[in-house]
Chain A
Amino acid sequence: MEIIKLAWRNIWRNKRRTVITASSLMFAVIFGVVMRSMQLGTYDRMIDSAVRQYSGFIQVQDSAYWKDKTIDDLMPDSLLLRKEISKLPDVTGVLPRLESFALISYGNKTKGAIFQGIDPFLDNQMTQISHKVVKGSFLTKDDEGILLSQRLAGYMGVNVGDTVVLLSQGYHAVTAADVFPVRGIVKIPNPKLDRILIIGSLKRVQDFYGADGMLTSMVVNINSKNNIDKVLPEVKKIIDSGRFVALSWTDMNKELKQQIESDSVSGQIMLGILYVVIFFGILGTIIMMTAERRKEFGVMVALGMHRYYLAMIVFVETILLGLVGALTGELISTGIVSYYYRSPIKIGGEMKDIYEQFGIEPVLAFSKDFGIFLNQFYVVLALLVIAVLYSIIKITGFKIIDAIHS
């Protein structure tokens, strides 16, 4: 009798119990996958809106810039350096940026803002920012006009075609003041940024700050945030470490990183509690199953079955039971995650305001990372393996006579 055939029949000898146990595993997997997918998807979205769309995963800056972030600590733009970094594996683009503080004034309203100079073509290739223009048009190369973030435009009461005044301190204390026509309104996913961002063409912003050919940073984007530990040292090797530094997004967004880490830990604790509950459910089933079949185990060993072989049958039974539950759970959660991956949950009402206060886009996004599915599957299998140890210990230790007469 093949082990799998025997094990399969054994798990269905008590259909109700098998269905209940498999269902508990199925729900654990569904809950685990969906919850983790939502967490990681939301983190990815947060990172995407704060990092990929704005700071980049890596920035090369003048070594003095990060400490005070003054416009006096700029770095010269170097096409050669950008090209060299672009050639690194996993690097998807290098964007020149110049940004600094500016006061925006329109009518009787004035507000502090970040004025960011971008290469419209390169930036758009990387971030598809033109798709976020909700009114007006995107910038052209060396455009004289600017884009205003949606909330900032709303606050200022500015519309496309209006002209605003920007005032700031330029490079090496020159006065920076000019008027700019508003080309478009752009919706920035990160609510915090959406309140303060002004975007202009790099050339125009350099002119404004009197910083021709200068940058605050080169933004290096990569294909996956998971590759940052591989790419960052390579970038560091290329740059002149005496003049420049290469910072990772976690160096530049410590707050976001901590926020994600603490939320992730709390999610994992919840999952841990769920798995403890599920584990005791499985253990209960296994204890019952072992007690019920004690006599049968005794007979099998009496007839000449080695205990290790018997333990193997019980192990296979438990794994099969786990597979039935876990694979069904994986299948259902794949459907749920796929649906919400395409249609993320938009948060409304008071929760929306709370999210925005924390600078988080009020959207629950889902991740389709295969690792999430695999991890939940492994966790369930690990729980089963630990639980089945009870049976195995009992099988290796029982006295045949006691078992047969039980």
Chain B
Amino acid sequence: MSIIEIKNLHKIYNENSEIPVYAVNGIDLSFEQGEFSAIVGPSGCGKTTLLNLLGGLDSPTKGEIIIDGVNIGELSESKLTDFRMKNIGFVFQAYNLIPVLTARENVEFIMHLQHRPKKERLERAMALLEAVGIGDRADSRPSKLSGGQQQRVAVARALASKPKFILADEPTANLDSKATEKLLEIMEKLNKEENITFIFATHDARVMKKAKRLINLEDGKVIANE
């Protein structure tokens, strides 16, 4: 059963100008629970835009995104914020951890927004940090962690709210090959063992190699989906 359905999705920048930019141009796609998929394509093909639309971070010009039966385009901003918090995990290229919080507190952050009890927050944060192999650095602030370690914290943070899927935008772009290998190994393991859905936007060959499905974009259109 599809957890995400994308219907005739368009995102057009400068729509009323002489040169409109069709970042996403009529995409129809669906994703199943437990997928490990990568949206790939050259720079400017619309990967990140599609991922942002999927995450409810940006609104489409036309079309629908239905996640678990909810058309997110119809949600108010406040409800969309709650929807993101409960259903979507994000991993960003630049990690984007909150610098004044420790690794554990960064993971706890979303659970705090969900008003989870302190004990549960603490236990789950530690369990997730252990799962991504960074339990021993739980009390370190991001500035004291390497890029690879920060990205693993970001993955743990994305998992904290028990989301339906995780969107990862170029998660390995700033990592060396060793850190990339380790990160992909962790995500693959989480996907296999806990059936967590991962959708990547990437042009990293190492990610593409691990992905079970590749969605190839060009000029905002899906040119291959295998």
Contact = CB atoms under 8 A, between A and B. Distances in A.
Interface residues of B, number: 27
B84 A295 contact: no
B86 A302 contact: no
Contacts of A207: none
A299 B85 CA distance: 12
B109 A303 contact: yes
B13 to A, nearest CB: 11
B150 interface: no
A302 B90 contact: yes
Interface in B12-59: 52, 55, 57-58
Contacts, number: 58
Given A1-B101, A1-B108, A303-B109, A404 B86 contact: no
Contacts of B110: 303-304
B55 A304 contact: no
B113 A305 contact: yes
Contacts of B77: 307
Contacts of A103: none
Nearest to A8: B100
B82 interface: yes
Contact of A304 (B86, B98, B100): B86
Dominant SS among interface residues on chain A: helix
A302 B84 contact: yes
Contact of A6 (B55, B100, B157): B100
B85 A304 contact: yes
A153 B57 CA distance: 88
Nearest to B108: A1
Contact of A306 (B81, B98, B108): B81
Given A1-B105, A1-B108, A302 B100 contact: no
A304 B58 contact: no
A400 B59 CA distance: 11
Nearest to A12: B100
B96 A400 contact: no
A125 to B, nearest CB: 63
A300 B90 CA distance: 11
Contact of B57 (A296, A305, A400): A400
18 contacts: A1-B101, A1-B109, A6-B100, A13-B100, A299-B92, A299-B98, A300-B98, A302-B84, A303-B157, A304-B84, A304-B85, A304-B114, A306-B81, A307-B77, A400-B57, A401-B58, A404-B57, A404-B92
Interface of A: 1, 6, 9-10, 13, 295-296, 299-307, 309, 399-401, 404
Interface of B: 52, 55, 57-58, 77-78, 81-82, 84-86, 90, 92, 96, 98-101, 105, 108-110, 112-114, 157, 161
Given A302-B84, A303-B90, 5 more contacts: A1-B101, A301-B81, A302-B55, A303-B157, A304-B85
